[in-house]
Amino acid sequence: MAKGWNLEHSYAGLPKLFYSLQNPVPVRAPEIAVLNLPLAEELGLDADALLGGEGAQVLAGNRLPPGAKPLAQAYAGHQFGYFTVLGDGRAILLGEQVAPRGERYDIQLKGAGRTPYSRGGDGRAALGPMLREYIVSEAMHALGIPTTRSLAVVLTGEAVIREDLLPGAVLVRVAKSHIRVGTFEYAAQSGSAQDLRALADYAIRRHFPELSGRKDRYLLMLRGVIRRQAELIARWQLVGFVHGVMNTDNMAISGETIDYGPCAFLDVYDPAAVFSSIDREGRYAYENQPGIAQWNLARFAETLLPLLDEDREKAVSLAQEAVTGFAKLYRAFWLSGMREKLGLFNEEPGDEALANELLSLMHRHAADYTNTFLALTFGNAKEGALFESSAFQSWEKKWRQRLQRQEEGEEQVRDRMKNANPAVIPRNHRVEEALKAAGQGSFSKLSQLMGALAKPYAHLPEQRAFAAPPPPSTEKYVTFCGT
């Protein structure tokens, strides 16, 4: 299994406060359920070797790849607004794979057994939630949204006890890093000033190397993280993605989407949509995601105050100014993306109102979010309560007049819209269909779904079956954390 592994361990150079050395706990009968061949190649790993007899042993944690130095990371987080000390309760970082082009990626086993941070948990994971993360994270990558990725899901041959006995699995997660807002909260709460500075300097070297050595590097890092999150959340909103559990321990400094627990995509457009079984107050509803991101970033900024300036009042002022800037950045990213979805090349002051008017009409008429934009893209907005309403027809007239006030022609407009409006998203009912079949031992539906999601902007005929909204139902779609 030496082929392709090129592991380093820069995170282990941090103070011991931030991690515990921990080997994965072996499983009974590992078997690869799904392997991401393109990602394996990108990482420089030998896919044939991974698919061989020892591959499942390594990807499940029974055997360590050459150079591995496994550890569990410590962190904290505000969960639904309340601070808690946490850590990798079921995840083991094998190391950082340095890919052929020089990029550095964490290789983490999720569901690899108990750690010092398990807090009474079994450290294991069920097949369904691990496959959900595989499906949605790879779909997000295909949509062009920064995200952690999934290299493999491995069956363990063991059952895990949740509400029922479920097949166990290990997810092999790949990330630019697993440093979270909650990692900084942990440093500020449990560590020394030197520990906090060590973490900040490490995060800068890892994610903002151009800032290394600068006197104002901590303020610039804060601004950089804010900018990345503003763009990330805007991209979520533009495709109708609901994360479901935006705790500070689920916000990555890298700007990647992390932790696909009770996540889902909008079918019918509803700003108040909540899919998580535990979000009873709607804290993490679709419309609240930008505000929650800003709240999380304020917690991040608070941890950096000792590094921003020796004068606390000045440090607070610098932090407040940076965090306040999130709203303007988010609005700019969202509006830019919405202009693309509507085929607009130039900018006019009324564009935001035009977009919001369409969204309001979609909400009023319970229109499908993704398919409404597809109908506009291909000029087939004819049937359905939304398109038949006089209010929409009035809006469409204003939109077409707006399109005429730019130099680009109809073909250019359509191409722009095709590249911004996906033909297919991970429809919740399709994901559930694939998960149910996989739980019964059949992975064909999963394979078909992944094939359809691989090129969402290709608009291929074979994707149409996966673009259909779910059949009418009186039951609200609910997702679970999968712990």
How would you write the pLDDT of the chain (483 residues) with one tens digit per residue?
458 999 999 999 999 999 999 999 999 999 999 999 999 999 999 999 999 879 999 999 999 999 999 999 999 999 999 999 999 999 999 999 999 999 999 999 999 999 999 999 999 999 999 999 999 999 999 999 999 999 999 999 999 998 889 999 999 999 999 999 999 999 999 999 999 999 999 999 999 999 999 999 999 999 999 999 999 999 999 999 999 999 999 999 999 999 999 999 999 999 999 999 999 999 999 999 999 999 999 999 999 999 999 999 999 999 999 999 999 999 999 999 999 999 999 999 999 999 999 999 999 999 999 999 999 999 987 789 999 999 999 999 999 999 999 999 999 999 999 999 999 999 999 999 999 999 999 999 999 999 999 999 999 999 999 999 999 876 888 887 665
Integer Cα distance of 56 and 178 in angstroms: 23
Distance of CA 304 to the CA centre of its chain: 24
Six-digit token pair at 225?
A: 């993280």
Q: Beta partners for 32?
A: 154
What CA–CA distance (Å, rounded) separates 274 from 262? Answer: 9
Which sequence positions are flagged as catalytic? 249
Could you tell me the two tokens for 309?
Answer: 């300036």
Report the alpha-carbon distance of residue 132 to residue 136 in Å, rounded.
6
Cβ atoms of 329 and 230 within 8 Å: the answer is yes
Q: Smallest Cα–Cα separation from 420: which of 375, 377, 478?
A: 377
Residues 419 and 409: their CA atoms lie apart, in Å, by 16
59, 171, 339, 442 from 26: Cα distances, Å:
11, 14, 51, 25
CA 483/CA 428 separation, integer angstroms: 19
SS3 of residue 227 by DSSP: helix
Q: What angle do CA 214, 215, 219 make, to 5 degrees?
A: 90
Residues 6+ apart with CB under 8 A from 68: 7, 94, 95
Beta-bridged to residue 167, according to DSSP, are: 159
In degrees, to the nearest 5, what angle opens at C-alpha 394 toward C-alphas 393 and 396? 60
Q: Please name the helix (run of DSSP H) or strand (run of DSSP E) that holds residue 341, with its range, or none.
A: helix 312-341
The pair phi, psi for residue 299, each rounded to 5°, is -65, -40
Burial class (CB in 10 A: 0-12, 13-18, 19+), 378: middle
Q: DSSP per residue over 37-92, as a string?
A: HHHHHHHT--HHHHHSTTHHHHHHTSSPPTT---EEE--EEEETTEEEE---SSEE
Does the pTM of the predicted model rise above 0.95? Answer: yes
Q: How far is CA 99 from CA 174, 227, 252, in A?
A: 12, 26, 21
